[in-house]
Amino acid sequence: MILIGLPGSGKSTVGRQLARRLQLPFADTDTVIEQRLGCSIREYFEQKGEDAFRDAEQATLADLCGSPDTGVLATGGGIVLREANRQCMARAGTVIYLRSAPDELARRLRHDTQRPLLQGVDPLQRLRELYAARDPLYREVASFSVDSARRSVSMMVSTVVMQL
Ligand code: S3P
């Protein structure tokens, strides 16, 4: 089962609790990418650029989707940008879109310094742009969506479990 959504939508937090509830292993594409690259995503973006990061992300997703040990998988917010990734996830099984409004995401991420796409710009403006560009892609690949507005992490986990 794969969690998708914009940065700050709770993919990693919800994913970890969901995995615990379902007694499945948990993985996060960003964490695996950082282990493989041996540096933070922010550093990699700065040194090699976004395209190189997207290549690493695509290869990591393909490996994790192909592994029988992957139970619940949280992904980076841009994973849906590549058609190959969308196809890979659609084939892998249930895809859950954690949907949040840009203003809620901006509030949650107001102290963030690790997300390269939000550095040096107005975060709310950037999140609005990301939402406009990606919401159709998240919807295209999702088996179902869970709205995170005014929902605690455990409520989101329960909402997901009920829809499985
Ligand atoms: C990105 C989101 C990040 C990370 C990278 C790019 C994006 O993951 O993969 O910084 O394009 O939205 P989170 O969604 O966990 O922040």
Tens-place pLDDT, residues 109-144: 999 999 999 999 999 999 999 999 999 999 999 999
Does residue 140 fall inside a structural domain?
yes
pLDDT at 73: 98
115 is in an annotated binding site: yes
User: Can you tell me the distance from the alpha carbon of 132 to that of 53, in angstroms, rounded to the nearest whole number?
Assistant: 22
Any residues with Cβ below 6 Å from ligand 1, and which? 7, 30, 41, 76-78, 115-117
Output the six-digit token pair for 9: 């939508």
The residue-averaged pLDDT of 2-18 equals 97
Quote the number of domains for the chain: 1
pTM: 0.97
Sign of CA dihedral 47, 52, 53, 56: negative
Query: From the CA of 162, how far away is ligand 1's center (Å)?
Result: 27
Q: Is the pLDDT of residue 150 over 90?
A: no
Please report which confidence band the pLDDT of residue 68 belongs to, taking 50, 70 and 90 as the band edges. confident
Domain that holds residue 117: 2-154
Task: Identify whether 164 is part of a domain.
Answer: no
In a domain, residue 32? The reply is yes
Q: Give the pLDDT score at 100.
A: 95
Q: Which of 93, 91, 69, 83 lies closest to 3 in space, CA to CA? A: 93
Q: H or E element: which one contains 71?
A: none
Query: How many whole angstroms from its chain centre is CA 64?
Result: 14
CATH number of the domain where residue 48 is located: 3.40.50.300
Q: Is residue 159 part of a domain?
A: no
Question: Is residue 98 a part of any domain in this protein?
Answer: yes
